[in-house]
Structure 1
């Protein structure tokens, strides 16, 4: 078969994968987002590049090297983990398949990116509409699909995850509209208005804080495109390094302060304090990959007996320290910085691509550091979706 036909077949397959993933994202995200992981993995399988595609797109460098070291350390930390090896295998498989999807976006010729860009923007816009309707109807769609009552605490946790996905993807969608769509300014404004409404719904303060961080990073990138992403990456890296020290410096909260906190945040603070206590016991190598799930200490709080470590610390920075120790935390921080520095001096890093990447990174960092576990597959899929969108923006008109 001639090479031109092979190339066209690969492109058609990749475009099909992108349309599938981007157009199904709103439906799956609104229902809680957990199905985003198999969806993106399927997209990666469909669009999986050949060996030559991997060699051309991935050049040796600090960012790649540190990321690989981090992935290797996950396997090493599994050796002393009380948990089984399922989670590290899922992370490795996810990085491979999600990375294959992002690589397909990277290899997509400029003249073939129109439909994938339109599909991504349409998908994020549809997600915005669905979440606004969910907020107005008491999460009718999620209640119908998952058979949850209105007073079930799991209801808003599910739709709140969908809101988190939207907060991360809204910046890349707005930047894509500004860079490539004729009336992109109106699309960006509509997405921004929807983001405010959605972030303030579903009883998730973290979404609102993440939106503020994302909007600030977006605005900074429009002004200083070549430094905004590095600044966001550096801030995330510093928080990873110093998170246990911050919890220690804050010290135990007084009973009065704890009584003034929302119940969920008091429980979260108890979890963070417990994580810091465990980190001090094994500061260098950590307790092992996915060890957070194995701690079962109980604490009495407001008349309830609760787990001090409910599956994970609800802080990516503390979880890295707890499970992977200082080595894993420093590798994670170095990977974030190296990714930002690799774009530091590139003139092609325009305001559109920088705004998309910086806003997504800022939102991911805030939500990861106060809410979600670092190994949750749907959250990794969200990060790779945002990265794929940033790649598809390309140079644009910005």
Structure 2
């Protein structure tokens, strides 16, 4: 009997750890939609707290070992790279490596907590989360027609005054969170017709608010997520393996793609012809490739892109390029291996909605990572870990109908 099955067979009185972890999941499920709407930066402390509370459940199975070895090796290499990094912490401060080193075991502990949680409480947590995200989508839908006045009113009442354009920008920012979470939470947990209600609200709110407030990526994410979900559902054994191979290849070869486009087309004219936000990204990517070619093996050191202005502002807005730039060939191999090993684990012999939803969320997360966010932002890493937490909850939930 597996550890999860043995835990599920225990009486509630005996399985205190399962009950404890289950209530941690339920509590987090209630907070996630609220944080996603009002303060996405709160995902980092939330996942850290979940991990801290679930530390007694931390485990490593034989299937986990390859991914964890890759992550540990990458962490050691990243720590070593701080010795030659252009970006050094201020006196008395700490570098990003400290945050990553603390996040890794805590986020992993949160995943283990979801695996160890009482299956019935996992089911409850998933229901709370799904309807919470549906409400999140409904609020976004209403705020789209209200021109972000709801968000602005709350911000001014409980925090500080905010300009209307910044309120719209912040609402647009929250659509990225909902776009990442709806596939794994709502498609992965789809069991009844009524579950389509929060799913429809989440998708409508995401697309409407993103389109109205000028966020291209969440709108583009919807069809990409749908393709990934459908592909893994129709080919549950082969689909995840092809996805893993494709993501690993694109992640590793990203600098070559940018270099080839720049070499084979009028990159400068294309850069001038697109919207300002995309033009800035293309400029960052071009500068990044040039710097990668200067130090391709060891890179410029962890977080070095912050010190490479004005060619790059904060980060390259492409996680794959950022890994190459800062951690070089070793880091790029580790990143490709991590994504390959993680995604291939979604493979099943039969169609599985949970794994299909996880694939959809992973594809959306990668899209945003490759065109938007800096790799080492703690809230962004926490959001990625949250996908794995929800997938673990889906894999360990009680779907037994309630007796009447």
TM range (shorter): 0.7 to 0.9
Matched, 1:87 2:87: no
- SS of equivalent residue, structure 2 residue 190: helix
Given that residues 78 and 327 in structure 2 are in contact (C-alpha distance below 8 angstroms), is that contact kept between their aligned partners in structure 1? yes
Matches within 5 A, 1:129-140: 129-140=138-149
The alignment covers a number of residue pairs equal to: 377
Matches within 5 A, 1:269-348: 269-297=282-310, 308-344=311-347, 346-347=348-349
Given that residues 57 and 107 in structure 1 are in contact (C-alpha distance below 8 angstroms), is that contact kept between their aligned partners in structure 2? no
Q: 1:256 to 1:309 in 2, by over 3 A?
A: closer
- Deviation per CA, 1:62-117, whole angstroms, max 9, x where unpaired? 22322222222221222211323521111121122222111110112333322112
- SS of equivalent residue, structure 2 residue 313: coil
How far apart in 2 are the matches of 1:81 and 1:23? 40
How far apart in 1 are the matches of 2:379 and 2:238? 29
Match of 1:72 among 67, 72, 76: 76
| 1:151 Cα offset (Å) | 3.0
How far apart in 1 are the matches of 2:37 and 2:121? 29
- Tell me what 1:366 maps to: 367
| 1:57 Cα offset (Å) | 4.8
- Tell me what 1:41 maps to: 48
How far apart in 2 are the matches of 1:183 and 1:325? 48
| 1:296 Cα offset (Å) | 2.4
Moved more, 58-67 or 124-133: 58-67
Task: Specify every segment of 5 or more residues in structure 2 that has no aligned partner in the other structure, as ranges.
Answer: 1-9, 400-404
Matched, 1:117 2:126: yes
Moved more, 325-334 or 134-143: 134-143
- SS of equivalent residue, structure 2 residue 41: coil
Task: Specify every segment of 5 or more residues in structure 1 that has no aligned partner in the other structure, as ranges.
Answer: 298-307
- Tell me what 1:304 maps to: none
Matches within 5 A, 1:37-186: 37-48=44-55, 50=56, 53-55=57-59, 57=61, 61-83=65-87, 84=89, 86-144=95-153, 145=155, 147-152=161-166, 155-179=167-191, 181=192, 183-186=194-197
Given that residues 74 and 88 in structure 1 are in contact (C-alpha distance below 8 angstroms), is that contact kept between their aligned partners in structure 2? yes
- Tell me what 1:215 maps to: 226
Runs of 4+ aligned structure 1 residues displaced above 6 Å come to: 3-6
- Tell me what 2:4 maps to: none
- SS of equivalent residue, structure 2 residue 165: coil
| 1:227 Cα offset (Å) | 2.8
- Tell me what 1:23 maps to: 30
TM-score (normalizing by structure 2): 0.85
- Tell me what 1:262 maps to: 275
How far apart in 1 are the matches of 2:315 and 2:268? 24
- Tell me what 2:354 maps to: 353
Q: 1:233 to 1:133 in 2, by over 3 A?
A: farther
How far apart in 2 are the matches of 1:259 and 1:250? 15
- SS of equivalent residue, structure 1 residue 40: helix
How far apart in 1 are the matches of 2:62 and 2:14? 19
| 1:288 Cα offset (Å) | 0.4
- Deviation per CA, 1:246-275, whole angstroms, max 9, x where unpaired? 111121745543332111111111111111
- SS of equivalent residue, structure 1 residue 178: coil
Given that residues 343 and 359 in structure 2 are in contact (C-alpha distance below 8 angstroms), is that contact kept between their aligned partners in structure 1? no
Given that residues 276 and 318 in structure 1 are in contact (C-alpha distance below 8 angstroms), is that contact kept between their aligned partners in structure 2? yes
- SS of equivalent residue, structure 1 residue 231: helix
- SS of equivalent residue, structure 1 residue 203: coil
Q: 1:228 to 1:135 in 2, by over 3 A?
A: farther
Q: 1:189 to 1:221 in 2, by over 3 A?
A: farther
How far apart in 1 are the matches of 2:107 and 2:187? 22
| 1:351 Cα offset (Å) | 1.8
Given that residues 177 and 187 in structure 1 are in contact (C-alpha distance below 8 angstroms), is that contact kept between their aligned partners in structure 2? no
Q: 1:254 to 1:281 in 2, by over 3 A?
A: closer
- Deviation per CA, 1:346-394, whole angstroms, max 9, x where unpaired? 43x7421221111011001111001111111111111111211111112
Moved more, 23-32 or 261-270: 23-32
Q: 1:369 to 1:187 in 2, by over 3 A?
A: same
